[in-house]
């Protein structure tokens, strides 16, 4: 496997990453992204050709969270997706509590 260079920076919501750009931003092979999109645990704007998939900033954040859980806890992709989903739900609930002044 060749060494990959990761990308860092701020992705604007209206910008879209290609499959290759998302993989490079996460420092993974494109196949890692493809497997997670096909499993339904990572988004991406649908397209007929895999090489035409487009990913938004939220997809990049989720991909990085998935990768972190998989690597840090040696979790499979399904467990990582569950952990990331639960973390997202906790953040949403905390935001609602804060908005209601109940935090």
User: What's the CATH number where 49 sits?
Assistant: 1.10.1660.10
Q: pLDDT, tens digit, for every residue of 8-24? A: 555 455 679 999 999 99
Q: Is residue 8 part of a domain?
A: no
How far apart (Å, rounded) are the C-alpha atoms in residues 47 and 54? 8
Q: Assess if residue 9 is contained within a domain.
A: no
Residue 41 inside a domain? The answer is yes
Q: Is residue 2 part of a domain?
A: no
The rounded distance, in Å, linking the Cα atoms of 49 and 96 is 39
Assigned domain for 27 exists: yes
Give the pTM. 0.79
Per the structure, the count of domains in the chain is 1
Q: Tens of pLDDT along 24-52?
A: 999 999 999 999 999 999 987 666 777 78
Give residue 43's pLDDT. Answer: 87
Asked, for residue 12, whether it belongs to a domain, the answer is no
Within-domain flag for 6: no
Residue 18's DSSP bridge partners are: 54
Is 36 domain-assigned? yes
CA count, 13 A, side-chain hemisphere, 76: 2
Find the domain containing 88 and state its range: 17-99
């Amino acid at each position: 496997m060749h060494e990959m260079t990761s990308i860092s920076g701020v992705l604007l919501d209206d910008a879209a990453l290609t499959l290759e750009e998302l993989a490079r931003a996460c420092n993974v092979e494109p196949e890692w992204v493809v497997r997670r999109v096909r499993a339904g645990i990572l988004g991406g704007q649908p397209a007929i050709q895999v090489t035409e998939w487009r990913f938004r900033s939220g997809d990049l954040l989720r991909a990085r969270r998935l990768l972190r859980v998989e690597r840090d806890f040696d979790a499979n992709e399904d467990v990582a997706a569950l952990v990331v989903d639960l973390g997202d739900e906790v953040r949403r609930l905390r935001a609602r509590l804060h908005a209601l002044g109940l935090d």
